[in-house]
Structure 1
Amino acid sequence: MSQEHNCSEVAALRKAIEDEYLAARRGLYGLAQYAQHDFIQARMQGVGRHYEELSRLLGEERAIDLVIEVNDELIPPQTGQNQP
């Protein structure tokens, strides 16, 4: 696999992980306010699938670093209060 193709695949997987996290966040704190547990669980399973693919491309350590990076960018720390 070429380096350029590998980079674009990693970028696409990173974007897919972002989308899963954002969907889960909207499910928790969006207009509905009371998302189904199954919906949020499905989003997190999607993150897991994308992580597995990243692990294949980058190795486990770099893949988990990337998932944590996306999580830290998109999910604010818990303060014990409901998020806006």
Structure 2
Amino acid sequence: MLKNISLSLFLFAGVLLTSSCSSPEKKAEKITMEVSSLALDTDPVCKMPIEGHLSDTLNFNGKIYGFCNTACKKEFEKNSETYLK
């Protein structure tokens, strides 16, 4: 009986893990959609091109801005008006 319960739990965990993973194609599609809807093609803080380097995004005043890393996003959040001039 314990063997059957263990096997059932193992199979159930496998199903959960399989269903929660998204395919690489879906991830690529999400990233492509995200990049195409960005307000700028460069990081507004460091001015680095973000195509191929998109690390984080932020919806600010109805526009989506992309950042090369989380540090640039945090800096933008603190001083957004400075970087939008």
Normalising to structure 2: TM-score of the pair? 0.29
Higher CA-based Rg: 2
Q: Which has the higher helix share?
A: 1
Q: Which has the higher strand share?
A: 2
